[in-house]
Amino acid sequence: MPANKRLIVCAICFLIILGLGAIWANADPAVLTGAQRFAISLTVATLLAISLYFLLRQKAIVSQTEQTVHRTDLARDEYVANISHEVRTPLSGILGVMHLLKRTQLDRNQQRYVETATNSANMLLAIINDMLSASRTDTGSFFIELESLDLAEVVEDVTSILAPEALNKGLELVCDVDPDIPYRVKGDPLRLRQVLHNLLNNAIKYTERGIIVIYVSRHDHIIEMGVKDTGMGIDPEKQEQLLQSSRQEDHKHGPQTGGAGLGLTSSQRLIKAMGSELLLESKPGEGSRFYFQLVIDDDHRASFDWKPPQALQQLSIGILSPLQLQRSTIRNMLSHWKISDIREFDFDVEEKFDLAELSPCGLLIIDQTVSEQAVNDLIDRLRNISDWRETRFVHLVPQNRQSEDGSADVRLHKPISHSRLYTMLMDVVYKLAFDSEYDASQSAVDSRVAGVLGGRRILLAEDNDINKMIVLEMLEETGADVDVAVNGADALDQLEREDYDLILMDIQMPILDGYAATRKIRTMGGHYQSIPIIAMTAHALEGDSNKSLEAGMDYHVSKPFEPDRFIALIVRFIEERSSASGN
């Protein structure tokens, strides 16, 4: 209520009470005189009027505050939505180009770089989705998806992203995956990657020297995942408050927290949404372990009947490393493939030792990162010994060391993953040249997809050049005939000249946007009312999908999209339309 109205209301109330007081003052005095009664009435009227004024003023302040908060929320949501749209557009281009690049012939290093970039972009996408979710709710809740995933793959993806940072600090990063974990489980891979990325990033940030281990272990139906480091550790009195999100701001700056960096609050929320809790074990001066446990029931796990090749099982393998943890990690991997003849050698190649202490084997894995020349000298010396002439030598090297001339038969980048180690072993055993995982057979389009989309006419309404290139290459290899419109008006012009089986419609375009273009198409009558129109946009707020459907579109796809699912969606709509029309 405005101030002038509040004053008028209070004045009226004052006069009413004062009038009643005057009447009371003129009554026959019993105890008090008329003047006394009038004075009391005047005082009461004044106090009540003042109280009423401040009460109305307080209500006005509360109302103004609520309106300000509402305007702030609207401005925040609009800002977040705009930022999301602007970030999703280039991110869609990055993921799309990475998808196309994976379909080309890549060597192993290029393949690893592409996978790392893709994983990083997907993690960024998950963060953007969380940002949108937080802007819509006050609870900070997260939506957890359940899909089939490989836990070893999740750990290795996170490790590959942060390994260069650990290497730059001179840290040894070990990826330790229990071979007894289920082959596949149900979970949210993006959320798990996000949590492990936060934990590993903190460990690297606050560990000055030594070893960091990212691990997955199994305890019956419990899967434990976490990160251990040899950092400074955390004082006991700080450990409890560290995991409390309300106190997180007190501990996110500076090394005095002993490994308490940014991301623990969001990690705790994500883990709680998965039905678990982030736990901490730490001793000052000895390091820390952040971990969580997930219950994997029988319905959410898949067993795998592993039968490694007989030639692999019979291979004798030696592991030469000064780090016991590295040796045991590699031994666990090799044991998973039922290799029984595994020998460990605790040696540092830069120190003098007797070669007779090394027993000959079919393959020797050498974990030495300090001196390249020392490793080459060791291999050359062993090859001059008759019992070692048939041995294949594998040198484990940091990620920043590119392929160069050396005495080793194979150079394997650390940290070691199950997939790369297995590929290397198969290369050694069968002498196969796995130059790329993405060979011609994998890049070939599925015959069913080609059968459905071959010769189909598709109109792509898109004004972004990168997005046009990506979608065109995805669709043209299916055999579809794709035309491009640069805006909604251009799309309408092309529809008047050609018949199309499906339309891919961007939303934010110049001249005529996707909503308006779709409404005009639906009013054109005839087959235009049934032609499938799929919204393909960076708009990803909760209500955006409804806007697309209300405009007359059949489906809403948020960029960046997963290519295989996107193609499958197009196939589904064209099949449904063909079935309905009898074509």
Cα of 480 vs its chain's centroid, Å: 32
CATH code 3.40.50.2300 for 310-437: yes
Render pLDDT for 227-273 as a digit per residue (tens, 0 to 9).
999 888 888 777 777 766 433 443 333 333 433 444 677 788 888 88
Distances (CA, A) of 539 to 127, 142, 306, 319, 516: 15, 19, 44, 52, 16
Residue 483: its pLDDT value, please? 93
Q: Structure pTM? A: 0.56
What is the assigned CATH class of domain 142-302? Answer: alpha beta
Specify the CATH number of the domain 445-581. Answer: 3.40.50.2300
Residues recorded for the chain: 583
> Who contacts 263 (Cβ-Cβ below 8 Å, separation ≥6)?
197, 198, 199, 201, 202
User: DSSP assignment of 519-581, as one string?
Assistant: HHHHTT-GGGGTS-EEEEES--STTHHHHHHHTT-SEEEESS--HHHHHHHHHHHHHHHHHHH
Residue 568: its pLDDT value, please? 86
Q: Which residue has the tokens 């592409």?
A: 114
Q: Helix (H, G, I), strand (E, B), or coil: what is residue 366?
A: strand
Domain spans of the chain? 3-82, 142-302, 310-437, 445-581
Nearest to 107 by CA among 474, 443, 439: 439
Residue 256: its pLDDT value, please? 38
Residue 250: its pLDDT value, please? 38
Residue 238: its pLDDT value, please? 78
Nearest to 465 by CA among 128, 90, 104, 114: 90
**What percent of the chain has a predicted confidence (pLDDT) above 90?**
15
* Separation of alpha carbons 322 and 348, rounded Å: 5
Residue 286: its pLDDT value, please? 84
Phi-psi region of 545 (alpha: psi -120 to 50; beta: other; left: phi over 0): alpha
CA angle 263, 264, 267 (to 5 degrees): 85
Render pLDDT for 447-466 as a digit per residue (tens, 0 to 9).
778 888 888 999 999 988 77
CA angle 471, 473, 479 (to 5 degrees): 105
Sheet holding 287-295, edge to edge: 172-177, 211-219, 222-229, 287-295, 279-283
* DSSP structure class, residue 209: S
Residue 94: its pLDDT value, please? 74
Give the residue ranges of DSSP H helices in 364-487. 372-383, 418-430, 440-443, 447-453, 465-476
* Separation of alpha carbons 199 and 292, rounded Å: 11
For the range 380-388, what are the long-range contacts, defined as Cβ-Cβ under 8 Å and sequence gap of 24 or more? Answer: 380/407, 381/355, 382/355, 382/358, 383/407, 385/355, 385/360, 387/360, 388/360
Instruction: State phi, psi for 359 to the nearest 5 degrees.
Output: -90, 135
| 310-437 shares its CATH topology with 445-581 | yes
Contact 102, 90 (CB under 8 A): no
What angle do the packed helices 189-205 and 264-273 form, to 10 degrees?
150
Positions in the chain whose pLDDT score sits under 70: 1-66, 68-89, 92-93, 103, 108-109, 112, 123, 126-143, 243-263, 298-307, 369-370, 399-405, 430-446, 538-543, 559-560, 582-583
Around 107, how many Cα atoms within 13 Å sit in the side-chain half-sphere?
Answer: 3
Q: Which residue has the tokens 């940030």?
A: 205
* Separation of alpha carbons 521 and 532, rounded Å: 11
Residue 245: its pLDDT value, please? 47
In single-letter form, the type of residue at position 289 comes to: R
Phi-psi region of 446 (alpha: psi -120 to 50; beta: other; left: phi over 0): beta
